[in-house]
Amino acid sequence: MNKKNSTLFTLFLIAIGMTIVEVLLNSKGEVVSDSTQSLWGLISLILTIIWAVADSETNNFDKPFDFGFLMYVFWPIALPYYLCKTRGTDGLILFIGFIGIWLGPWLAGLVAYTYIYAP
């Protein structure tokens, strides 16, 4: 398994774990702590950047010296730009997929809170 695939696999596993935690807590009327939410956001961002750096090595993308740092600081602009540059319009769909992975646990928790707990 190469670095790109293992990074995506790790991102999916952590997202599934976070989704389970969100659903279990929100179905009981409790919420995930702010520090856990922030940690999830940071981990998903870092894993996405690691994937993009590994992907840029296999796509022969002419990247600047500090590509990883630029992706971290300017990710809302740099990641869609990179994906569109390497994949065309399919890159936007991939970007929406990464956003979906990031927001998925929160949305699943919201659904659990609304339909299971419903005070």
Q: What is the pLDDT of residues 3-52, one digit of tens each?
A: 889 999 999 999 999 999 999 999 999 999 999 999 999 999 999 999 99
Percent of the residues in the chain that have a pLDDT greater than 70, as a whole number:
99
Q: Which residues contact 83 (CB under 8 A, 6 or more apart)?
A: 52, 91, 92, 94, 95
> Which of 37-46, 53-62, 103-112 comes out lowest in average pLDDT?
53-62
Residue 115 DSSP code: I
Contact 26, 37 (CB under 8 A): no
pTM for the predicted model, two decimal places = 0.89
The mean pLDDT of 87-101, rounded to a whole number, is 94
pLDDT band at 64 (very low <50, low <70, confident <90, very high): confident
